[in-house]
Amino acid sequence: MSEQGEQQRGAPGRQDDRRHVGPQRERPALHVGRLCRGRVRCRCGIPHRPPADVYPVYRCADGDVRLCLLSERQWRGMFAWLGEPEEFADPAYDSIAARVAAADRLEPLITELFADRPAAELVEEAARRGVPLAQVLTLGDAVASDHFTAAGTVALREIAPGFATTLPVGFADVDGHRLGIRSASPKPPATQDAQNTQDAQWTPRHRPTASRTDGAPFSGIRVLNLGVIVFGAEAGRAFADLGADVIKIESTAFPDGLRQTRRGEAMNASFAWGNRGERSLGLDLRADEGRQLFKDLVRHSDVVLANFKPGTLDSLGIGHAVLEAVNPRIVVLESAAFSRKGPWSNRLGYGPLVRAACGVTSLWRYAPDDTESWDGVTVFPDHVAARLGALTIAAALLARERTGRGAHLEIAQSDVVLHQFAVLAALEGLRPGSAAADADVGTALFGGVFACAGDDEWCVIDVRNGREAELLRRATAAPPDSQVDGDLHEHVAKWTAERPPAEVAETLQGYGIPAAAMTRQPELLDDPQSRARGTFTTMRHPLLDGELPAENVAAPYGQLTPPPSRPAPLSGEHTVDVCTEVLRLTPERVRDLIDRRVIHQR
Protein backbone atom coordinates (compact mmCIF):
# COMPACT_ATOMS: atom_id res chain seq x y z
CA MET A 1 0.00 0.00 0.00
CA SER A 2 1.00 3.57 -0.50
CA GLU A 3 1.87 4.97 2.88
CA GLN A 4 1.26 8.63 3.40
CA GLY A 5 1.75 9.65 6.99
CA GLU A 6 0.27 6.67 8.82
CA GLN A 7 2.65 3.82 9.48
CA GLN A 8 0.35 1.45 11.30
CA ARG A 9 -2.44 -0.77 10.04
CA GLY A 10 -2.95 -2.42 13.39
CA ALA A 11 -1.12 -3.75 16.41
CA PRO A 12 2.34 -5.06 15.65
CA GLY A 13 3.01 -8.74 16.06
CA ARG A 14 4.94 -10.01 19.06
CA GLN A 15 8.63 -10.19 18.42
CA ASP A 16 9.24 -13.74 19.64
CA ASP A 17 9.17 -17.22 18.19
CA ARG A 18 6.18 -18.69 19.96
CA ARG A 19 4.04 -18.89 16.85
CA HIS A 20 4.79 -19.86 13.31
CA VAL A 21 3.00 -19.62 10.01
CA GLY A 22 2.82 -22.71 7.86
CA PRO A 23 3.58 -23.06 4.15
CA GLN A 24 1.54 -20.70 1.99
CA ARG A 25 1.90 -21.62 -1.65
CA GLU A 26 -1.29 -19.77 -2.43
CA ARG A 27 0.21 -16.50 -1.23
CA PRO A 28 1.71 -13.99 -3.63
CA ALA A 29 4.81 -14.78 -5.60
CA LEU A 30 5.50 -11.08 -6.10
CA HIS A 31 6.57 -10.59 -2.51
CA VAL A 32 4.43 -8.08 -0.68
CA GLY A 33 0.66 -7.91 -0.58
CA ARG A 34 -2.14 -9.98 -1.99
CA LEU A 35 -2.14 -9.32 -5.70
CA CYS A 36 -4.64 -12.14 -6.02
CA ARG A 37 -6.31 -14.51 -3.64
CA GLY A 38 -6.19 -17.38 -6.06
CA ARG A 39 -9.29 -19.26 -7.06
CA VAL A 40 -11.91 -17.70 -4.85
CA ARG A 41 -15.31 -16.17 -5.43
CA CYS A 42 -15.92 -12.76 -3.93
CA ARG A 43 -19.21 -11.53 -2.54
CA CYS A 44 -20.08 -9.94 -5.87
CA GLY A 45 -20.39 -13.45 -7.30
CA ILE A 46 -17.55 -13.12 -9.79
CA PRO A 47 -15.10 -15.99 -9.41
CA HIS A 48 -11.48 -15.37 -8.48
CA ARG A 49 -12.02 -11.64 -7.99
CA PRO A 50 -10.60 -10.18 -4.77
CA PRO A 51 -13.41 -8.53 -2.79
CA ALA A 52 -13.73 -4.77 -2.82
CA ASP A 53 -15.39 -4.58 0.60
CA VAL A 54 -12.05 -4.01 2.37
CA TYR A 55 -11.86 -0.63 0.63
CA PRO A 56 -15.56 0.12 0.11
CA VAL A 57 -16.99 2.52 -2.43
CA TYR A 58 -19.91 4.78 -1.39
CA ARG A 59 -22.33 6.80 -3.45
CA CYS A 60 -22.36 10.55 -2.86
CA ALA A 61 -24.24 13.47 -4.37
CA ASP A 62 -22.24 13.60 -7.59
CA GLY A 63 -20.51 10.26 -7.92
CA ASP A 64 -18.55 7.86 -5.72
CA VAL A 65 -15.89 7.97 -3.03
CA ARG A 66 -13.63 5.23 -1.66
CA LEU A 67 -12.79 4.86 2.02
CA CYS A 68 -9.66 3.18 3.40
CA LEU A 69 -9.80 3.00 7.21
CA LEU A 70 -6.79 1.17 8.59
CA SER A 71 -5.21 2.63 11.71
CA GLU A 72 -6.78 3.42 15.06
CA ARG A 73 -6.16 7.13 14.50
CA GLN A 74 -8.03 7.05 11.20
CA TRP A 75 -10.97 5.22 12.74
CA ARG A 76 -11.14 7.78 15.54
CA GLY A 77 -11.38 10.54 12.94
CA MET A 78 -14.22 8.68 11.21
CA PHE A 79 -15.95 8.01 14.53
CA ALA A 80 -15.95 11.72 15.33
CA TRP A 81 -17.21 12.54 11.83
CA LEU A 82 -20.14 10.18 12.37
CA GLY A 83 -21.08 12.12 15.50
CA GLU A 84 -19.55 9.60 17.92
CA PRO A 85 -22.41 7.08 17.85
CA GLU A 86 -22.62 5.35 21.22
CA GLU A 87 -22.87 1.87 19.76
CA PHE A 88 -19.35 2.26 18.33
CA ALA A 89 -17.74 4.00 21.31
CA ASP A 90 -16.20 0.76 22.60
CA PRO A 91 -12.39 0.80 22.06
CA ALA A 92 -12.78 -2.66 20.58
CA TYR A 93 -13.80 -0.96 17.33
CA ASP A 94 -10.29 0.44 17.02
CA SER A 95 -9.61 -2.96 15.47
CA ILE A 96 -10.19 -3.52 11.75
CA ALA A 97 -11.56 -6.99 12.50
CA ALA A 98 -14.20 -5.61 14.89
CA ARG A 99 -15.34 -3.02 12.36
CA VAL A 100 -15.59 -5.61 9.59
CA ALA A 101 -17.65 -7.84 11.88
CA ALA A 102 -20.01 -4.93 12.55
CA ALA A 103 -20.22 -3.81 8.91
CA ASP A 104 -23.97 -4.44 8.74
CA ARG A 105 -24.47 -1.70 11.36
CA LEU A 106 -21.57 0.60 10.49
CA GLU A 107 -21.98 0.74 6.72
CA PRO A 108 -25.46 2.34 6.79
CA LEU A 109 -24.16 5.16 8.98
CA ILE A 110 -21.34 5.98 6.60
CA THR A 111 -23.62 5.61 3.59
CA GLU A 112 -26.05 8.13 5.05
CA LEU A 113 -23.26 10.56 5.97
CA PHE A 114 -21.88 10.59 2.43
CA ALA A 115 -25.06 10.32 0.38
CA ASP A 116 -26.06 13.97 0.00
CA ARG A 117 -22.68 15.68 -0.14
CA PRO A 118 -20.45 16.35 -3.17
CA ALA A 119 -17.39 14.14 -3.50
CA ALA A 120 -14.84 17.00 -3.52
CA GLU A 121 -16.32 18.41 -0.32
CA LEU A 122 -16.19 15.00 1.36
CA VAL A 123 -12.56 14.46 0.38
CA GLU A 124 -11.49 17.84 1.73
CA GLU A 125 -13.23 17.30 5.06
CA ALA A 126 -11.78 13.81 5.29
CA ALA A 127 -8.28 15.25 4.85
CA ARG A 128 -8.90 17.69 7.70
CA ARG A 129 -10.08 14.86 9.94
CA GLY A 130 -7.25 12.49 9.02
CA VAL A 131 -9.60 10.07 7.29
CA PRO A 132 -8.28 8.44 4.09
CA LEU A 133 -10.89 9.09 1.39
CA ALA A 134 -10.68 9.63 -2.35
CA GLN A 135 -13.09 10.53 -5.11
CA VAL A 136 -13.55 7.87 -7.77
CA LEU A 137 -12.58 9.79 -10.90
CA THR A 138 -12.46 8.82 -14.53
CA LEU A 139 -9.10 8.94 -16.25
CA GLY A 140 -10.30 12.04 -18.09
CA ASP A 141 -11.21 13.73 -14.80
CA ALA A 142 -7.78 12.92 -13.39
CA VAL A 143 -5.86 14.24 -16.39
CA ALA A 144 -7.90 17.45 -16.31
CA SER A 145 -7.57 17.99 -12.53
CA ASP A 146 -5.85 21.04 -11.10
CA HIS A 147 -3.60 18.83 -8.99
CA PHE A 148 -1.81 17.01 -11.81
CA THR A 149 -1.48 20.22 -13.79
CA ALA A 150 0.03 22.08 -10.82
CA ALA A 151 2.34 19.15 -10.07
CA GLY A 152 3.66 19.17 -13.63
CA THR A 153 2.50 15.60 -14.18
CA VAL A 154 0.40 16.47 -17.21
CA ALA A 155 0.86 19.34 -19.64
CA LEU A 156 0.02 20.47 -23.14
CA ARG A 157 2.84 19.26 -25.38
CA GLU A 158 3.48 19.26 -29.08
CA ILE A 159 3.92 15.53 -29.73
CA ALA A 160 4.57 16.04 -33.43
CA PRO A 161 5.19 19.18 -35.48
CA GLY A 162 1.99 21.21 -35.37
CA PHE A 163 0.15 18.59 -33.30
CA ALA A 164 -0.37 19.12 -29.54
CA THR A 165 -2.38 17.43 -26.83
CA THR A 166 -2.50 17.19 -23.04
CA LEU A 167 -0.73 14.10 -21.74
CA PRO A 168 1.49 12.84 -18.89
CA VAL A 169 4.97 14.30 -19.31
CA GLY A 170 6.99 12.85 -16.42
CA PHE A 171 6.71 11.11 -13.06
CA ALA A 172 9.97 12.02 -11.29
CA ASP A 173 11.37 15.28 -9.92
CA VAL A 174 15.14 15.55 -9.57
CA ASP A 175 16.29 18.48 -7.45
CA GLY A 176 12.93 20.12 -8.04
CA HIS A 177 12.89 19.72 -11.82
CA ARG A 178 10.48 17.37 -13.57
CA LEU A 179 12.09 14.87 -15.92
CA GLY A 180 10.07 14.01 -19.00
CA ILE A 181 8.70 15.16 -22.33
CA ARG A 182 9.70 18.69 -23.32
CA SER A 183 9.46 18.84 -27.10
CA ALA A 184 7.94 17.11 -30.09
CA SER A 185 9.41 14.01 -31.64
CA PRO A 186 11.88 14.76 -34.45
CA LYS A 187 10.59 14.62 -38.00
CA PRO A 188 11.07 11.27 -39.69
CA PRO A 189 13.58 11.17 -42.57
CA ALA A 190 12.09 12.31 -45.86
CA THR A 191 13.29 9.20 -47.67
CA GLN A 192 14.24 5.64 -46.87
CA ASP A 193 17.77 6.41 -48.04
CA ALA A 194 18.04 9.08 -45.36
CA GLN A 195 16.91 6.56 -42.76
CA ASN A 196 19.47 4.05 -43.96
CA THR A 197 22.18 6.75 -43.75
CA GLN A 198 21.22 7.49 -40.16
CA ASP A 199 21.32 3.80 -39.30
CA ALA A 200 24.74 3.43 -40.91
CA GLN A 201 26.10 6.31 -38.84
CA TRP A 202 25.05 4.69 -35.58
CA THR A 203 27.75 2.63 -33.92
CA PRO A 204 26.95 0.33 -31.00
CA ARG A 205 28.89 0.89 -27.82
CA HIS A 206 31.77 -1.56 -27.41
CA ARG A 207 30.83 -4.30 -25.01
CA PRO A 208 33.86 -5.79 -23.31
CA THR A 209 34.00 -9.50 -22.74
CA ALA A 210 33.19 -10.07 -19.09
CA SER A 211 33.95 -13.09 -17.02
CA ARG A 212 31.62 -14.46 -14.42
CA THR A 213 32.10 -12.81 -11.04
CA ASP A 214 30.71 -13.11 -7.56
CA GLY A 215 30.79 -9.33 -7.16
CA ALA A 216 27.41 -7.70 -6.44
CA PRO A 217 26.41 -4.55 -8.37
CA PHE A 218 25.59 -2.55 -5.22
CA SER A 219 28.31 -3.94 -2.99
CA GLY A 220 29.64 -1.05 -0.88
CA ILE A 221 26.41 0.98 -1.16
CA ARG A 222 24.53 1.67 2.07
CA VAL A 223 20.81 2.47 2.03
CA LEU A 224 18.92 3.88 5.01
CA ASN A 225 15.37 2.66 4.55
CA LEU A 226 12.74 4.75 6.30
CA GLY A 227 10.12 3.33 3.95
CA VAL A 228 7.14 1.37 5.20
CA ILE A 229 4.60 -1.16 4.01
CA VAL A 230 4.86 -2.21 0.36
CA PHE A 231 6.74 0.67 -1.26
CA GLY A 232 9.39 0.78 1.44
CA ALA A 233 9.84 -2.98 1.39
CA GLU A 234 10.09 -3.31 -2.38
CA ALA A 235 12.42 -0.34 -2.94
CA GLY A 236 14.78 -1.44 -0.19
CA ARG A 237 14.79 -5.07 -1.27
CA ALA A 238 15.77 -4.08 -4.82
CA PHE A 239 19.12 -2.94 -3.43
CA ALA A 240 19.52 -5.61 -0.75
CA ASP A 241 19.08 -8.36 -3.33
CA LEU A 242 22.05 -7.01 -5.28
CA GLY A 243 24.48 -6.56 -2.44
CA ALA A 244 23.74 -3.21 -0.79
CA ASP A 245 23.77 -2.86 2.99
CA VAL A 246 20.15 -1.85 3.57
CA ILE A 247 19.39 -0.69 7.10
CA LYS A 248 15.69 -0.47 7.92
CA ILE A 249 15.03 2.28 10.47
CA GLU A 250 12.20 1.21 12.79
CA SER A 251 10.22 2.75 15.62
CA THR A 252 8.31 1.09 18.44
CA ALA A 253 5.85 4.00 18.51
CA PHE A 254 5.11 3.79 14.76
CA PRO A 255 5.79 0.20 13.67
CA ASP A 256 5.73 -0.66 10.00
CA GLY A 257 2.20 -1.73 9.15
CA LEU A 258 3.61 -4.71 7.27
CA ARG A 259 4.65 -6.18 10.62
CA GLN A 260 1.01 -6.51 11.66
CA THR A 261 -0.05 -10.12 12.19
CA ARG A 262 -3.51 -11.54 12.71
CA ARG A 263 -2.80 -13.74 15.69
CA GLY A 264 0.36 -12.32 17.20
CA GLU A 265 2.78 -14.38 15.14
CA ALA A 266 6.45 -13.50 15.37
CA MET A 267 6.71 -12.68 11.66
CA ASN A 268 4.27 -11.70 8.94
CA ALA A 269 4.94 -13.60 5.72
CA SER A 270 4.53 -10.39 3.71
CA PHE A 271 7.21 -8.71 5.80
CA ALA A 272 9.46 -11.72 5.29
CA TRP A 273 8.98 -11.50 1.53
CA GLY A 274 9.48 -7.80 1.17
CA ASN A 275 12.27 -7.07 3.62
CA ARG A 276 14.61 -9.97 3.06
CA GLY A 277 18.28 -9.10 3.12
CA GLU A 278 17.86 -5.98 5.27
CA ARG A 279 19.17 -5.13 8.73
CA SER A 280 16.95 -3.46 11.32
CA LEU A 281 17.93 -0.52 13.51
CA GLY A 282 15.48 0.52 16.22
CA LEU A 283 15.70 4.31 16.45
CA ASP A 284 13.49 7.07 17.88
CA LEU A 285 13.65 9.90 15.34
CA ARG A 286 11.49 12.10 17.56
CA ALA A 287 14.32 12.36 20.09
CA ASP A 288 17.12 14.85 19.52
CA GLU A 289 19.74 12.16 20.07
CA GLY A 290 17.89 9.85 17.70
CA ARG A 291 17.95 12.44 14.93
CA GLN A 292 21.64 13.07 15.53
CA LEU A 293 22.38 9.36 15.30
CA PHE A 294 20.49 9.25 12.01
CA LYS A 295 22.53 12.17 10.66
CA ASP A 296 25.69 10.37 11.74
CA LEU A 297 24.50 7.34 9.77
CA VAL A 298 23.90 9.55 6.75
CA ARG A 299 27.58 10.52 6.80
CA HIS A 300 28.39 6.86 6.16
CA SER A 301 25.58 6.15 3.68
CA ASP A 302 24.66 6.66 0.05
CA VAL A 303 20.86 6.57 -0.09
CA VAL A 304 17.91 7.54 2.11
CA LEU A 305 14.47 6.43 0.99
CA ALA A 306 11.10 7.24 2.54
CA ASN A 307 7.42 7.17 1.62
CA PHE A 308 5.55 9.51 3.90
CA LYS A 309 3.20 12.42 3.40
CA PRO A 310 5.06 15.35 1.77
CA GLY A 311 6.93 17.39 4.36
CA THR A 312 7.26 14.59 6.92
CA LEU A 313 11.06 14.39 6.73
CA ASP A 314 11.31 18.16 7.05
CA SER A 315 9.02 18.12 10.09
CA LEU A 316 11.29 15.51 11.68
CA GLY A 317 14.30 17.72 11.06
CA ILE A 318 15.89 15.34 8.57
CA GLY A 319 14.74 16.80 5.26
CA HIS A 320 16.92 16.76 2.17
CA ALA A 321 18.51 20.15 2.84
CA VAL A 322 19.66 19.00 6.28
CA LEU A 323 20.94 15.66 5.02
CA GLU A 324 22.72 17.23 2.05
CA ALA A 325 24.58 19.53 4.44
CA VAL A 326 25.68 16.44 6.37
CA ASN A 327 26.66 14.47 3.25
CA PRO A 328 26.66 16.24 -0.15
CA ARG A 329 26.82 12.83 -1.89
CA ILE A 330 23.60 11.52 -0.35
CA VAL A 331 20.73 10.51 -2.67
CA VAL A 332 17.33 11.04 -1.02
CA LEU A 333 14.16 9.55 -2.49
CA GLU A 334 10.82 10.72 -1.13
CA SER A 335 7.69 9.05 -2.40
CA ALA A 336 4.11 9.92 -1.53
CA ALA A 337 0.69 9.14 -2.87
CA PHE A 338 0.33 12.65 -4.32
CA SER A 339 2.96 15.21 -5.28
CA ARG A 340 3.79 17.97 -2.82
CA LYS A 341 3.36 20.55 -5.60
CA GLY A 342 -0.36 20.08 -6.12
CA PRO A 343 -3.45 20.85 -4.01
CA TRP A 344 -3.86 17.17 -3.09
CA SER A 345 -0.54 17.04 -1.25
CA ASN A 346 -2.25 17.02 2.16
CA ARG A 347 -4.35 13.94 1.40
CA LEU A 348 -3.73 10.63 3.06
CA GLY A 349 -3.15 8.07 0.39
CA TYR A 350 -2.98 4.31 0.05
CA GLY A 351 -2.94 2.25 -3.13
CA PRO A 352 -6.75 1.87 -3.32
CA LEU A 353 -7.20 5.64 -2.99
CA VAL A 354 -4.54 6.36 -5.59
CA ARG A 355 -6.29 4.00 -7.98
CA ALA A 356 -9.62 5.73 -7.34
CA ALA A 357 -8.22 9.24 -7.85
CA CYS A 358 -6.31 8.35 -11.03
CA GLY A 359 -9.07 6.62 -12.99
CA VAL A 360 -7.97 3.01 -12.44
CA THR A 361 -11.02 2.08 -10.37
CA SER A 362 -13.40 3.49 -12.97
CA LEU A 363 -11.69 1.37 -15.65
CA TRP A 364 -11.03 -1.74 -13.58
CA ARG A 365 -14.54 -3.06 -13.01
CA TYR A 366 -17.13 -5.33 -14.52
CA ALA A 367 -20.26 -3.24 -14.00
CA PRO A 368 -20.48 0.53 -13.40
CA ASP A 369 -23.16 0.24 -10.72
CA ASP A 370 -21.85 -2.86 -8.98
CA THR A 371 -19.18 -1.45 -6.68
CA GLU A 372 -18.35 -4.90 -5.30
CA SER A 373 -17.01 -5.91 -8.71
CA TRP A 374 -14.59 -2.97 -8.82
CA ASP A 375 -10.87 -3.32 -8.13
CA GLY A 376 -10.47 -4.97 -4.75
CA VAL A 377 -7.38 -5.62 -2.67
CA THR A 378 -4.91 -5.81 -5.54
CA VAL A 379 -1.71 -4.04 -4.48
CA PHE A 380 -1.16 -1.41 -7.17
CA PRO A 381 0.71 0.86 -7.82
CA ASP A 382 3.10 0.18 -4.92
CA HIS A 383 5.22 -2.50 -6.58
CA VAL A 384 5.57 -0.56 -9.82
CA ALA A 385 6.34 2.76 -8.13
CA ALA A 386 8.92 1.12 -5.86
CA ARG A 387 10.75 -0.41 -8.80
CA LEU A 388 10.74 2.85 -10.70
CA GLY A 389 11.98 4.55 -7.56
CA ALA A 390 14.85 2.07 -7.28
CA LEU A 391 15.77 2.61 -10.93
CA THR A 392 15.73 6.38 -10.42
CA ILE A 393 18.02 6.00 -7.40
CA ALA A 394 20.39 3.83 -9.44
CA ALA A 395 20.48 6.51 -12.15
CA ALA A 396 21.26 9.16 -9.54
CA LEU A 397 24.08 7.02 -8.16
CA LEU A 398 25.54 6.74 -11.65
CA ALA A 399 25.24 10.51 -12.14
CA ARG A 400 27.02 10.99 -8.81
CA GLU A 401 30.06 9.21 -10.26
CA ARG A 402 30.30 12.06 -12.77
CA THR A 403 29.25 15.05 -10.65
CA GLY A 404 30.35 14.03 -7.18
CA ARG A 405 27.01 15.16 -5.75
CA GLY A 406 23.88 13.38 -4.68
CA ALA A 407 20.30 14.29 -5.57
CA HIS A 408 16.83 14.88 -4.16
CA LEU A 409 14.34 12.60 -5.90
CA GLU A 410 10.57 12.83 -5.56
CA ILE A 411 8.12 10.34 -7.06
CA ALA A 412 4.37 10.42 -6.45
CA GLN A 413 2.64 7.10 -6.91
CA SER A 414 -0.31 8.80 -8.56
CA ASP A 415 2.05 10.24 -11.17
CA VAL A 416 3.35 6.75 -11.86
CA VAL A 417 -0.21 5.52 -12.42
CA LEU A 418 -1.00 8.20 -14.98
CA HIS A 419 2.14 7.32 -16.90
CA GLN A 420 1.17 3.67 -17.00
CA PHE A 421 -2.03 4.85 -18.69
CA ALA A 422 -0.20 7.39 -20.83
CA VAL A 423 -1.63 6.17 -24.14
CA LEU A 424 -5.20 6.24 -22.85
CA ALA A 425 -4.53 9.62 -21.21
CA ALA A 426 -3.28 11.06 -24.49
CA LEU A 427 -6.33 9.61 -26.25
CA GLU A 428 -8.52 11.29 -23.67
CA GLY A 429 -6.82 14.59 -24.42
CA LEU A 430 -7.57 14.17 -28.12
CA ARG A 431 -11.08 12.78 -27.75
CA PRO A 432 -12.55 13.60 -24.33
CA GLY A 433 -14.61 10.74 -22.93
CA SER A 434 -12.98 8.10 -25.11
CA ALA A 435 -10.73 6.51 -22.48
CA ALA A 436 -12.03 3.04 -21.63
CA ALA A 437 -10.57 -0.33 -20.75
CA ASP A 438 -11.25 -1.53 -24.29
CA ALA A 439 -10.47 1.75 -26.05
CA ASP A 440 -9.08 1.59 -29.56
CA VAL A 441 -5.72 3.33 -29.26
CA GLY A 442 -4.76 2.73 -32.85
CA THR A 443 -1.96 0.26 -32.13
CA ALA A 444 -3.63 -2.76 -33.73
CA LEU A 445 -5.65 -3.62 -36.79
CA PHE A 446 -7.81 -6.05 -34.83
CA GLY A 447 -7.87 -7.37 -31.29
CA GLY A 448 -9.11 -7.07 -27.77
CA VAL A 449 -9.95 -9.16 -24.73
CA PHE A 450 -11.96 -12.29 -25.54
CA ALA A 451 -13.90 -14.57 -23.20
CA CYS A 452 -12.69 -18.18 -23.18
CA ALA A 453 -14.08 -21.50 -22.00
CA GLY A 454 -14.49 -21.66 -18.25
CA ASP A 455 -15.67 -19.28 -15.57
CA ASP A 456 -14.23 -15.77 -15.91
CA GLU A 457 -11.44 -16.89 -18.23
CA TRP A 458 -9.97 -14.52 -20.83
CA CYS A 459 -7.30 -14.03 -23.45
CA VAL A 460 -5.86 -11.09 -25.36
CA ILE A 461 -5.39 -11.04 -29.14
CA ASP A 462 -3.52 -8.28 -30.96
CA VAL A 463 -3.47 -8.40 -34.77
CA ARG A 464 -1.23 -5.68 -36.17
CA ASN A 465 -1.53 -5.94 -39.94
CA GLY A 466 -3.26 -7.61 -42.86
CA ARG A 467 -0.87 -10.56 -42.93
CA GLU A 468 -1.62 -11.41 -39.30
CA ALA A 469 -5.34 -10.97 -39.95
CA GLU A 470 -5.11 -13.62 -42.68
CA LEU A 471 -3.24 -15.92 -40.31
CA LEU A 472 -5.97 -15.38 -37.72
CA ARG A 473 -8.61 -16.45 -40.24
CA ARG A 474 -6.66 -19.63 -40.91
CA ALA A 475 -6.06 -20.39 -37.25
CA THR A 476 -9.72 -19.99 -36.32
CA ALA A 477 -11.15 -21.39 -39.59
CA ALA A 478 -12.88 -18.10 -40.26
CA PRO A 479 -14.43 -17.39 -43.68
CA PRO A 480 -11.77 -15.93 -46.02
CA ASP A 481 -13.87 -12.85 -46.66
CA SER A 482 -14.60 -12.06 -42.98
CA GLN A 483 -13.87 -8.43 -42.15
CA VAL A 484 -11.70 -7.24 -39.28
CA ASP A 485 -14.16 -4.46 -38.50
CA GLY A 486 -17.19 -6.74 -38.62
CA ASP A 487 -17.92 -10.47 -38.72
CA LEU A 488 -14.34 -11.63 -37.97
CA HIS A 489 -14.69 -10.36 -34.41
CA GLU A 490 -17.88 -12.35 -33.88
CA HIS A 491 -16.30 -15.48 -35.30
CA VAL A 492 -13.16 -15.20 -33.16
CA ALA A 493 -15.27 -14.59 -30.05
CA LYS A 494 -17.18 -17.82 -30.66
CA TRP A 495 -13.92 -19.67 -31.35
CA THR A 496 -12.24 -18.54 -28.10
CA ALA A 497 -15.37 -19.23 -26.06
CA GLU A 498 -14.96 -22.95 -26.82
CA ARG A 499 -11.31 -23.16 -25.69
CA PRO A 500 -9.31 -22.58 -22.52
CA PRO A 501 -7.22 -19.40 -22.66
CA ALA A 502 -3.90 -21.26 -22.62
CA GLU A 503 -4.95 -23.27 -25.68
CA VAL A 504 -6.05 -20.12 -27.48
CA ALA A 505 -2.72 -18.41 -26.82
CA GLU A 506 -0.65 -21.44 -27.78
CA THR A 507 -2.58 -22.00 -31.01
CA LEU A 508 -2.40 -18.38 -32.14
CA GLN A 509 1.22 -17.98 -31.12
CA GLY A 510 1.95 -21.02 -33.27
CA TYR A 511 0.64 -19.07 -36.24
CA GLY A 512 2.76 -16.04 -35.34
CA ILE A 513 -0.15 -14.02 -33.94
CA PRO A 514 0.41 -12.02 -30.71
CA ALA A 515 -1.88 -13.59 -28.09
CA ALA A 516 -1.73 -14.27 -24.37
CA ALA A 517 -3.86 -15.97 -21.76
CA MET A 518 -5.00 -14.11 -18.66
CA THR A 519 -2.92 -15.66 -15.89
CA ARG A 520 -3.72 -15.38 -12.21
CA GLN A 521 -0.82 -14.82 -9.92
CA PRO A 522 -0.68 -18.28 -8.29
CA GLU A 523 -0.52 -19.77 -11.80
CA LEU A 524 2.67 -17.83 -12.53
CA LEU A 525 4.62 -20.21 -10.34
CA ASP A 526 4.05 -22.99 -12.88
CA ASP A 527 4.37 -20.86 -16.00
CA PRO A 528 7.00 -22.45 -18.29
CA GLN A 529 8.50 -19.10 -19.30
CA SER A 530 8.83 -17.99 -15.68
CA ARG A 531 10.39 -21.32 -14.76
CA ALA A 532 12.87 -21.12 -17.62
CA ARG A 533 13.98 -17.62 -16.63
CA GLY A 534 14.14 -18.42 -12.92
CA THR A 535 11.65 -15.64 -12.18
CA PHE A 536 10.60 -17.26 -8.93
CA THR A 537 12.42 -19.08 -6.20
CA THR A 538 11.67 -20.34 -2.71
CA MET A 539 12.78 -18.82 0.54
CA ARG A 540 12.77 -19.74 4.19
CA HIS A 541 12.54 -17.71 7.35
CA PRO A 542 13.42 -19.16 10.75
CA LEU A 543 10.13 -17.91 12.19
CA LEU A 544 7.98 -19.33 9.39
CA ASP A 545 7.29 -22.99 8.80
CA GLY A 546 8.09 -24.42 5.39
CA GLU A 547 9.16 -22.76 2.18
CA LEU A 548 7.56 -19.66 0.69
CA PRO A 549 7.40 -19.01 -3.05
CA ALA A 550 9.18 -15.74 -3.75
CA GLU A 551 10.22 -13.53 -6.60
CA ASN A 552 13.83 -14.04 -7.55
CA VAL A 553 16.29 -11.19 -8.19
CA ALA A 554 15.25 -8.56 -10.71
CA ALA A 555 16.70 -10.33 -13.78
CA PRO A 556 18.77 -13.36 -14.76
CA TYR A 557 22.40 -12.29 -14.96
CA GLY A 558 25.03 -13.78 -17.21
CA GLN A 559 28.14 -12.54 -15.43
CA LEU A 560 26.90 -11.83 -11.91
CA THR A 561 26.10 -14.13 -9.04
CA PRO A 562 23.72 -12.32 -6.66
CA PRO A 563 24.78 -12.65 -3.04
CA PRO A 564 22.91 -14.97 -0.68
CA SER A 565 20.03 -13.22 1.04
CA ARG A 566 19.54 -12.88 4.77
CA PRO A 567 16.07 -13.44 6.24
CA ALA A 568 13.98 -10.38 7.03
CA PRO A 569 14.88 -9.00 10.47
CA LEU A 570 12.92 -8.60 13.66
CA SER A 571 12.45 -5.00 14.74
CA GLY A 572 15.75 -3.75 16.16
CA GLU A 573 17.51 -7.05 15.54
CA HIS A 574 20.72 -5.40 14.30
CA THR A 575 20.66 -2.26 16.45
CA VAL A 576 23.79 -3.12 18.39
CA ASP A 577 25.67 -4.24 15.27
CA VAL A 578 24.88 -1.03 13.37
CA CYS A 579 25.74 1.19 16.31
CA THR A 580 29.09 -0.50 16.92
CA GLU A 581 30.15 -1.31 13.35
CA VAL A 582 28.92 1.76 11.46
CA LEU A 583 28.68 4.47 14.12
CA ARG A 584 31.63 3.12 16.17
CA LEU A 585 29.79 3.63 19.47
CA THR A 586 31.18 2.00 22.58
CA PRO A 587 29.21 -0.80 24.27
CA GLU A 588 28.62 1.50 27.24
CA ARG A 589 27.19 4.22 24.98
CA VAL A 590 24.94 1.71 23.24
CA ARG A 591 23.61 0.37 26.54
CA ASP A 592 22.88 3.91 27.75
CA LEU A 593 20.94 4.71 24.56
CA ILE A 594 18.95 1.50 24.92
CA ASP A 595 18.16 2.22 28.57
CA ARG A 596 16.86 5.66 27.64
CA ARG A 597 14.91 4.22 24.67
CA VAL A 598 16.65 6.35 22.09
CA ILE A 599 17.36 3.08 20.34
CA HIS A 600 15.77 -0.33 20.81
CA GLN A 601 16.72 -3.90 20.09
CA ARG A 602 14.71 -7.08 19.59
Compute the mean pLDDT over every residue in the chain, rounded to the nearest whole number. 85
Region 58-73: mean pLDDT is 92
Contacts of 216-220 with C-beta under 8 Å, sequence gap 24+, read 216/242, 216/243, 216/244, 216/560, 216/562, 216/563, 217/242, 217/243, 217/560, 218/242, 218/243, 218/244, 219/243, 219/244, 219/563
| Interacting residues of 384 by C-beta distance below 8 A, sequence separation 6+ | 416, 420
Q: How far apart are CA 493 and CA 461, in angstroms?
A: 11
Domain that holds residue 83: 69-131
Q: Which of 439, 461, 436 is nearest to 517 (CA)?
A: 461
Q: How far apart are CA 369 and CA 476, in angstroms?
A: 35
- The residues with which 520 forms a beta bridge, in sequence order, are none
Flag whether 452 is in a domain: yes
CB contact at 8 A, 329 and 404:
yes
Boundary (domain end) residue, out of 116, 131, 146: 131
Flag whether 482 is in a domain: yes
More confident residue, 43 or 315: 315
**Total domains in the fold of the chain:** 2
Indicate the SS3 state at residue 175: coil
Q: Note the pLDDT tens digit of each residue in 334-358.
A: 999 999 999 999 888 888 999 999 9
Region 349-377: mean pLDDT is 82
Centre a 10 Å sphere on the Cβ of residue 208 and count the other Cβ atoms it contains. Answer: 4
Flag whether 61 is in a domain: no
Could you tell me where the beta strands, DSSP code E, fall in 108-153?
133-135
Flag whether 454 is in a domain: yes
Q: How far apart are CA 69 and CA 72, in angstroms?
A: 8
For residue 520, pLDDT over 50 is answered with yes
Q: Note the pLDDT tens digit of each residue in 220-268.
A: 999 999 999 899 999 999 999 999 999 999 999 888 888 887 777 889 8
Flag whether 267 is in a domain: no
Flag whether 204 is in a domain: no
Per the omega criterion (within 30 degrees of 0), is the bond before 381 cis? Answer: yes
CATH of the domain at 510: 3.30.1540.10
b/e sequence 157-171, b meaning 16+ C-beta within 10 Å: bebeeeeebbbbbbb
Boundary (domain end) residue, out of 492, 522, 552: 522
Q: What is the β-pairing status of strands 63-67 and 57-60? A: antiparallel
Q: Which of 25, 569, 550 is nearest to 271 (CA)?
A: 569
Flag whether 366 is in a domain: no
For residue 154, pLDDT over 80 is answered with yes
Boundary (domain end) residue, out of 81, 106, 131: 131
Question: 10: pLDDT confidence band, cut at 50, 70 and 90?
Answer: very low
Catalytic machinery residues: 382
**Predicted pLDDT at 523:** 85
Flag whether 306 is in a domain: no
